[in-house]
A and B are shown apart, each in its own frame.
Chain A
Amino acid sequence: MIALKQIRKSFGKQEVLKGIDLAVEKGEVVAILGPSGSGKTTLLRCINYLERPGSGHIRIGDAAVDCGHPSKKDIHRLRGRSAMVFQQYHLFRHKTALQNVMEGLVVVQNVPKEEARRRSAELLEKVGLGAKLDAYPSQLSGGQQQRVGIARALALNPDVILFDEPTSALDPELVGEVLSVIRKIAREGITMIIVTHEMAFAQEVASRIVFMDDGAVIEEGEPAEFFRSPREERTKQFLKRMTPEGVYNI
């Protein structure tokens, strides 16, 4: 369904992604973990071409891009297959919650307005914002804004939704509401790649964990296994730092 082959990306002289290979099956929920600066955000941004990889191949469904020779058309098709939920939400601030969700449907997918409105309202209902359709982002809490962001991503019916630390900009008391929405859509079999620092959440919701460090995938595995007995030394170090003692000694 999604295949990344030898993705490389440099900023100036610094190589940030050093040949990433990753395959994700339909319905999988992949959590990407890794220390700060390891290239997780860059990788997600490369998948939908917000960042241009230097080389490699990206395929999502039937859209493929050869990063050595990307064409505008291929990039556009690729972006059409994925949706992104940003750490800082990035809602369109001059549009209401409903308009935020409708925008992609109407402008990009040419869905008739009425139908777009109906579908968007349903999605906002689903993320628990049925009462906030006409609120502007400035009138919503961070958690609510992020849930609009998730509805906006869902609306496009993408092959995969990419989440970049969807809760790390939130006040602690708002994290739960967003995680529970993600949990809910994960159960519906939507393919997701989630970059997160929420270890417990990753373990619970992911079907696979990918651990990155220094621009490379160091280790991947099934969550219980990954947390119980990580193979690589760097993974062990990371988990030791990230998890309060005892929590994962199941």
Chain B
Amino acid sequence: MGASVDVSYVFEYFVRLLPSVGITLEIVALSLLIGSAVGMLVALPRLYRIPVLQRLSQVYVSFFRGTPLLIQLFLIYYGLPELLKLVHADVSRTPVLVFVVAAYALHSGAFISEAIRAAVGAVDRGQVEAGYAIGMTGFQAFRRIVLPQAIAVAMPVFGNLVIANLKDTSLAFSLGIMELTGKAQTLPTMSQRFFESYLALALLYFILSFILQKGLYRLERRLLRHEPADGSASSPAKGRRARRREAAARLNLTEEGALR
């Protein structure tokens, strides 16, 4: 192993890692997409207090929040085929990626359902009643009034999830997926320049998160355009996070806000 860091290796590995960005982003995108659907489904029984399902969704959420992702990956990779055998489905030829995506989707689903639950709770009940009062059905009020605002409120949390998910995909190599981290481990087998490889890897993750964060922040601003960033935007002392929290809080102003 060379004595000092050889920047040219860092550069070389960086370039050679680029093709693996695709698979990493694929895992992120698929698992968040599926995870959002799962999260929504899991949030509903708790939002509407449906007796048995409510318990089930609680258990699901606690499990996926309370156990390490790596273990979940293994459990699903080794356990799901066994479960599926019970219904005579043979998954021995199913690509590993499917299990990986399933694990990440179930994992994010737990967090997303919590985010949705909190966000729906933050949309004040009065607006729903106003919806009913103009003749909306429950479903219309949910879709047109609650959901858009809940999504806006949940965006910061969702944004954090996207970033966390991106970083977590690095565990997929343990099941042999050649995503970024897996690739970064194989590159230096000849040169033994592991440090340079991991440095390039870190750099790449950092750049990806940075771009994602920027994009997500834009989206968030757009979704919350009805809640002005006014005073807070001009005072740099107030952090972005504080502003987000305020925006979320403002959605929730009912009694206090108006009584003053």
- Where the two chains meet, the residues of A that have a C-beta atom closer than 8 Å to any C-beta of B are 48-50, 76, 79-80, 82-84, 86, 88-96, 103-104, 107-109, 136-139, 142, 152-153, 156, 169, 171
Contact = CB atoms under 8 A, between A and B. Distances in A.
A50 B227 contact: no
Contacts, number: 82
Contacts of B227: 93, 136, 138
Contacts of A108: 134-136, 140
A108 B135 CA distance: 6
B133 A79 contact: yes
B19 to A, nearest CB: 41
Q: How many B residues touch the partner, as a band?
A: 20 to 34
Given A107-B136, A152-B130, 10 more contacts: A76-B137, A86-B129, A86-B130, A88-B126, A88-B258, A90-B126, A103-B144, A108-B136, A136-B225, A137-B226
B129 A93 contact: no
Interface stretch (B67-75, B163-171, B213-221, B248-256): B248-256
- The secondary structure that dominates the B interface is helix
Contacts of A88: 126, 254-255, 258
Given A93-B149, A94-B149, A136 B133 contact: no
Contact of A156 (B134, B149, B152): B134
Contacts of A96: 226
B127 interface: yes
B239 interface: no
A104 B135 CA distance: 7
A89 B126 CA distance: 9
B145 interface: yes
